Amino acid sequence: MGTGTIIKACIVQDPSIIIDYSNFFVGLDDLEEAYFLCGFLNAPAVTQTVRVIIDEGAAGSGRNIMKRPFSIRLPRYDVENELHQEIVKMALNMERHARKILDRWITGEEEKLKLKDKGENSELDAIFNKISLKKLALQNRIYKELGWDTKKSAITGEFAQLNQLIREVISRKGK
């Protein structure tokens, strides 16, 4: 499963960030509700559900996946619901874990820069450009360390726990 066919959500609190046309955003006043929605959307179960209703592009590949999560009836956040609170906590923990992975990666790239820096700005610029091309590798590392090997469709660890919570919320929704 390619990363372009995976639902991804994040929380942006910096008002200077510009969301481009290929991304969707929801303005929420409650940070807990934002983490609930983020956790819900990042669950592999949601991506798997959305892939069933996705439009097919060339050669049968999925397209417009970013539009599909909003065609699923997501439960409204309920601050009193223990499962909703567990999803909020899980999303927060996964965000912290992803941040640690990112920090380790940045430190490693900075070390590489120090080794390669010979005082030439043009060489540094080339290295920074190379780093920006590695974001897909970084994204795959984060997914894998959090328990979702997207190449093998294997789900373990934190993603498996999140999936379990999401499935429980969905199963109780109809009751």
pLDDT digits (tens, 9 = 90+) for 102-161: 889 888 877 776 666 555 555 656 656 665 556 678 888 899 999 999 888 899 999 999
pLDDT reported for residue 29: 92
pLDDT reported for residue 65: 67
Contact 94, 42 (CB under 8 A): yes
56-96 tens-digit pLDDT: 665 655 666 666 677 777 889 999 999 999 999 999 999 99
For residue 148, the Cα-to-chain-centroid distance in whole angstroms is: 11
Residue 174 has pLDDT above 60, yes or no: no
Which secondary structure element, helix H or strand E, spans residue 155, and what is its range?
Answer: strand 154-155
Residue 166 has pLDDT above 90, yes or no: yes
68-79 tens-digit pLDDT: 677 777 889 999
Q: What is the pTM of this model?
A: 0.81
pLDDT reported for residue 158: 97
* Residue closest to 49 by CA, chosen among 80, 73, 26, 84: 73
Q: Which domain holds residue 138?
A: 3-173
From residue 37, how far is each of 34, 43, 58, 123, 165 by CA, in Å?
5, 10, 31, 42, 13
Domain count, the chain: 1
Summarize the confidence of residues 152-175 as an average pLDDT: 88
The Cα 24–Cα 20 span in angstroms is: 8
Contact 39, 90 (CB under 8 A): yes
pLDDT reported for residue 95: 96
